Structure 1
Amino acid sequence: MADNKEISIEETIHNGPPSPELEKPQQDGIVRIPRPLDDPRDPLNWPFRKKCGMVAVLSIAMFAGYAAPFCGQLNLVQQAKLYHKTTVQITYFNSASSAGLASGGFFYSPLAHKFGRSSVIFFALLGCLAAQIWAPMMTGKGDYWSYFGSRFLSGFFGMVTSVLGPKYLVDLFFLHQRGRVFTILHLALNFGASAGPTFSGFIAANRYWPVEYWWSVALLAFTSILVFVFLEETSFDRSEGAINMTPPESWIANRIQTFFPFLPGNNSVIKRTTLAETAKVAILPFKIALSPVLLTVAGFDTISFGFYVALNALTPVWLQKPKKFGGYGFTITDNASFTFVHWIGFIFGLVYGQLVSDRIPLWVAKRHGGVWKPEYRLHALWLTNFFMMPVGLGLVGAALMYRLHWVVFALGQIFVTIGSMVSIPVTVNYIAECFRSHTVEATIPVNSMRLFLGLSINFYATDWIAKTHIGWFYGMMAFFSLFAFFFLILLMWKGHVIRSWTPFGLGSDEEGEHVVAGKNIHAA
């Protein structure tokens, strides 16, 4: 960790005695919040390379978990013939995956409280692996609903890191570092959802569809090993008089206590909890879901991310539809190659997030005397979600309506991907900082709500298109996504008041902390 910045005598003479906030350890003019304890068990004190290793493992787990449910997204024709369904009915499998992604978190929060986050992530990945083995076995004509179930369970187990991962980041990193690490972790989410169909499409382009699943099985097995070897618990209570567990020095004993706390006679690396305490934790996401600040963010996420999910689910239909029927006549290989446009969006989103996700809120804080408000995070979304995402959806609609070149269609996809890529880590980070004491429980309803529209839209897309035509199907999405941004504008304007309406006394944040102590924020 970098040396603490000293406050000079001259500064004291001109500005008076330093405030308690400015006496906190600083780095490049940025106050480190929260202040770590003088205890090597405090994750804030861990070596930076160890923190980066933890983020890498969590990102791989996020990638593998979100790639798994969508491996079969492109093989519409083969599965339609096998199960005697239309291609649109085959896209219902994506809705099953999204339903699993939306529901799993409500179970993982109490389990993590009881057994530890690392143990729950490990066994959920094994469950996702089992679902990936189950799916390619469903090759009978009557296996439609069994395959449907495998997609639900793949999403149910695969989403575990998206719920439990943010708490690791909050435990490991200071306030001024979180924007970048949230961007990295959620890049893995979006990248996995896109790379799953890409890799599977190339693998199964000239083969029968079940073969597209086995690379995911191997990846999940490898990821489970990485999690078992490298992932550690970061639970640490900094409150006065708190008792924290000391993990065993032996690596084997540490791994056994971390991942198998339920074995008879085995100790745990987290504090023991009663069944009543676990039940209270299970109820927390439903209580937090009633808070106006979360509902406001969820309103934005539901529309913006929901349209991104819907766009991904329906794109193979338009690309593989014959040209004479208004499609682009792509083969499965062409479709797999087309998904690289998402990768362009991911790269742009990653670079943009690394450059601005922390710098913009710190710049805004500096203009307000260096005092922090969680809403400053949201200003990073003006370019990507007020402008790029609505324009992208409009381009997609125009390309399909006027049968424009597929490059126009691709450009629209890139813009929408960038909007999704940047908005998820920013909004999840914002909610995590609004509920610092209940990070996991707060991210659960946000993750679930933003998937509701995406998982349901396939069921009424045909009727919507019939009423409005394909161009306005996406054109209306563009206007809805623009409208959704006004939820964020409301928070930027009155976020403090809206957060004060949080019921049950569950809100806790870092507003009022003096985060900018000096003039130089460029290196933060």
Structure 2
Amino acid sequence: MSDTQTESGVAGPDEIKPAIGHDNNETAAKTSKDGIILIPQPSDDPRDPLNWPSSKKATVVATLFLAMFVGFSAPFCGQLNIQQQAILYGKTPVQITYFNSAASAGLATGGYLWWPLSNKFGRSSVIFWTLLGQLACQIWAPMMTRADQYGPYLASRYFSAFFGVTVSVLGPRYLVDMFFLHQRGRAFTVLHLALNFGASAGPTFAGFVAAHAYWPVEYWWSVGLTGFAIIVVFAFLEETNFDRSEGTVNRTKPDSWIQDRVETFLPGTKVATPISWMETLKIAVVPFKIAVAPVLLIIAGFDMISFGFYVALNALTPVWLQRPIQAGGIYGFDVTQNAAFTFHHWIGFLIGLVYGHFFSDRIPLWLVSRNKDGVWKPEYRLYALWPTNFVLMPLGLGLVGCAMEYRLHWVVMALAQLFVTIGSLVSIPVTVNYICECFRTHTVEAALVLNSMRLFLGLSINFYINPWIDAVGVGWVYGMMAFFTVFAFMFLISLMVWGHAIRSATPFKTAATEEGLHVIKKRLEDHGF
């Protein structure tokens, strides 16, 4: 995915060639060997993250992947072993699933603190210290073993997610700093695999660990993994801040590795531009300005429905699968069977990863090639979602409803959830990438707002799912979700058709994009050669 990966058509440092047509001018621009213009244009400084070797970029992405995996797997560890907790706390199984809502609330709110602090102390430092906070929360949860500790247990899940959301908010900026426009689709797909994979693999691992033991055991493996992630982040995460403006003096890393790590992670301003606390407070207000932008509200509406139903499906499926047959259940799974059932998510992630790798950049570039001027539109990103979110995801939700209503074999339920998983995995990196490109100078703020808004539905659905089922039946609950997902895709169609006008309506002058830049080199004969 870096500029040295020639097998994907991207030039190495000695293969970058001058091109014609960048920024609509007859000026020389650096391109890949296949004539794709590099946006943004890299500087000649080896410290520029765009010029980093592919091995260094891959190391940073892998480190962020691990940290995000931990951030999203830790809050949901207890998702499968709900029967033991229900007995301990004297609650119903559905009430135990409220911890998913507590975790979702933490994911929705944490970034509003970590984003402004990252400007004060540096993004890498905030990621490191919030992982330490999450480690404390993972130790907190399994200590809540008394009947009167239901509330503190929910609080531990909230704060675990509050600390764990950091990479999903700050990570997109690393990708935008390191990768060119035509590479970002694959980069976003790889990083955001950790989000969905973590939220699903966490319960899977915990289910197998605690299947034949008391429920607190399921948390200790995540304590070890979180500690390991802290070590990896300290050893390998690099700050990607770099100002290409003429005359700017950028930080030079010290020769000593220890000194560099101290400057990066210990409180101070060695890797961040020194700002006052008043300036930090002003930065904290920017996400709320972006939150009223029509383009962000439209994307958030789509994500809230599609991702929210995926979250709700994951939270409620253990209830349906583990309900005893004598109590009206369909499958009567134990915890081990439920954990094995979740492997369909892993298959979905693999399919979604392959699809994203091969199509998330190629489809937009193909659409650019159909434009005789070879110019970019951010909305080209959204076309990759037609097969996954207009077809597979509503089909999957509808099949879940059929399986529940007509008591079909669990294979039907697994296939249905596979379709939903693919749709969710593909949609998140595409929509986050799109919204970051719509707010090119405010990528973190845009990702933060989108991240919090898309969780609202998944956060709340556990509280009203039973009245909804009582009103229309469980089959039609998921059937209605399928229709709502199709309706949500209409939001994307509106952007495909009127995207430029909608983005132009953004208030507060925050919507800087790369629209109109030439991505594919014009034919030489067009210039008289």
State the TM bucket, normalised to the shorter chain: over 0.9
User: Structure 1 residues 51, 21: CA separation in 2 closer, same or farther (over 3 Å shift)?
Assistant: farther
Give the aligned partner of residue 174 of structure 1.
Answer: 180
Amino acid at match of 1:442: A
Q: Is the 8 A contact 1:378 1:492 kept in 2?
A: yes
Give the aligned partner of residue 478 of structure 2.
Answer: 474
Distance 2:202 2:519 in 1: 40
1:131 to 137, 149, 152: 137
Give the aligned partner of residue 317 of structure 2.
Answer: 315
CA RMSD in angstroms comes to 1.5
Map 1:97-136 → 2, pairs under 5 A: 97-136=103-142
Q: Is the 8 A contact 1:245 1:270 kept in 2?
A: no
Task: Say if 2:393 is the partner of 1:375.
Answer: no
Query: Displacement of 1:516 after TM fit?
Result: 1.3
Distance 1:166 1:467 in 2: 41
Give the aligned partner of residue 522 of structure 1.
Answer: none
Task: Say if 2:166 is the partner of 1:163.
Answer: no
1:349 to 342, 348, 352: 352
Give the aligned partner of residue 493 of structure 2.
Answer: 489
Task: Say if 2:440 is the partner of 1:439.
Answer: no
Structure 2 spans left out of the alignment, 5+ residues: 5-11, 524-529
Give the aligned partner of residue 424 of structure 1.
Answer: 428
Task: Say if 2:303 is the partner of 1:297.
Answer: no
Amino acid at match of 2:370: R
Amino acid at match of 1:336: A
Map 1:511-522 → 2, pairs under 5 A: 511-517=515-521
Q: Secondary structure at the match of 2:216?
A: helix
1:224 to 225, 230, 234: 230
Distance 2:294 2:164 in 1: 29
Q: Secondary structure at the match of 1:27?
A: coil
2:146 to 115, 140, 145: 140
User: Structure 1 residues 424, 507: CA separation in 2 closer, same or farther (over 3 Å shift)?
Assistant: same
Q: Is the 8 A contact 1:22 1:514 kept in 2?
A: no
Give the aligned partner of residue 42 of structure 2.
Answer: 36
Amino acid at match of 1:196: G
Give the aligned partner of residue 457 of structure 1.
Answer: 461
> 1:372-418: per-residue Cα shift (whole Å, max 9, x none)?
01100000000000000000000000000000111111111000000
Task: Say if 2:370 is the partner of 1:364.
Answer: no
Distance 2:119 2:366 in 1: 36
Q: Is the 8 A contact 1:119 1:260 kept in 2?
A: yes
> 1:289-326: per-residue Cα shift (whole Å, max 9, x none)?
01001001000000000000000000000000122403
Q: Secondary structure at the match of 1:123?
A: helix
Map 1:193-272 → 2, pairs under 5 A: 193-262=199-268, 268-272=270-274
Q: Which moved more, 1:422-431 or 1:34-43?
A: 34-43
Query: Displacement of 1:236 after TM fit?
Result: 1.1
Map 1:268-283 → 2, pairs under 5 A: 268-283=270-285
Aligned residues: 508
Query: Displacement of 1:261 after TM fit?
Result: 3.0
> 1:90-117: per-residue Cα shift (whole Å, max 9, x none)?
0001110111011101111100000000
Amino acid at match of 2:229: T
Task: Say if 2:456 is the partner of 1:448.
Answer: no
Query: Displacement of 1:27 after TM fit?
Result: 3.3
Identity %: 66
Structure 1 spans left out of the alignment, 5+ residues: 520-524
Query: Displacement of 1:518 after TM fit?
Result: 6.7
Give the aligned partner of residue 419 of structure 2.
Answer: 415
Query: Displacement of 1:21 after TM fit?
Result: 6.0
Give the aligned partner of residue 7 of structure 2.
Answer: none
Amino acid at match of 1:220: T
Q: Secondary structure at the match of 1:432?
A: helix
Query: Displacement of 1:175 after TM fit?
Result: 0.5
Amino acid at match of 1:317: V
**TM-score, length basis structure 1:** 0.95
Task: Say if 2:505 is the partner of 1:501.
Answer: yes
User: Structure 1 residues 6, 138: CA separation in 2 closer, same or farther (over 3 Å shift)?
Assistant: closer
Q: Is the 8 A contact 1:245 1:271 kept in 2?
A: no
Give the aligned partner of residue 334 of structure 1.
Answer: 337
Distance 2:18 2:104 in 1: 52
Q: Secondary structure at the match of 2:407?
A: coil
Distance 1:447 1:358 in 2: 22
Query: Displacement of 1:22 after TM fit?
Result: 5.9
Distance 2:153 2:432 in 1: 31
Amino acid at match of 1:396: V
Q: Is the 8 A contact 2:29 2:41 kept in 1?
A: no
Q: Is the 8 A contact 1:131 1:151 kept in 2?
A: yes
Distance 2:234 2:25 in 1: 44
Query: Displacement of 1:271 after TM fit?
Result: 1.5
User: Structure 1 residues 214, 127: CA separation in 2 closer, same or farther (over 3 Å shift)?
Assistant: same
Amino acid at match of 1:460: Y
Q: Secondary structure at the match of 1:24?
A: strand
Q: Is the 8 A contact 1:22 1:517 kept in 2?
A: no
Task: Say if 2:290 is the partner of 1:288.
Answer: yes
Distance 2:232 2:42 in 1: 28
Q: Is the 8 A contact 1:5 1:28 kept in 2?
A: no
Q: Secondary structure at the match of 1:205?
A: coil
Map 1:396-411 → 2, pairs under 5 A: 396-411=400-415
Amino acid at match of 1:285: P
Query: Displacement of 1:363 after TM fit?
Result: 0.3
Amino acid at match of 1:191: F
User: Structure 1 residues 185, 7: CA separation in 2 closer, same or farther (over 3 Å shift)?
Assistant: closer
Amino acid at match of 2:399: L
**TM-score, length basis structure 2:** 0.94
Distance 1:434 1:256 in 2: 35
Amino acid at match of 1:310: A
Amino acid at match of 1:327: I
Q: Secondary structure at the match of 1:499?
A: helix
Distance 2:496 2:350 in 1: 27
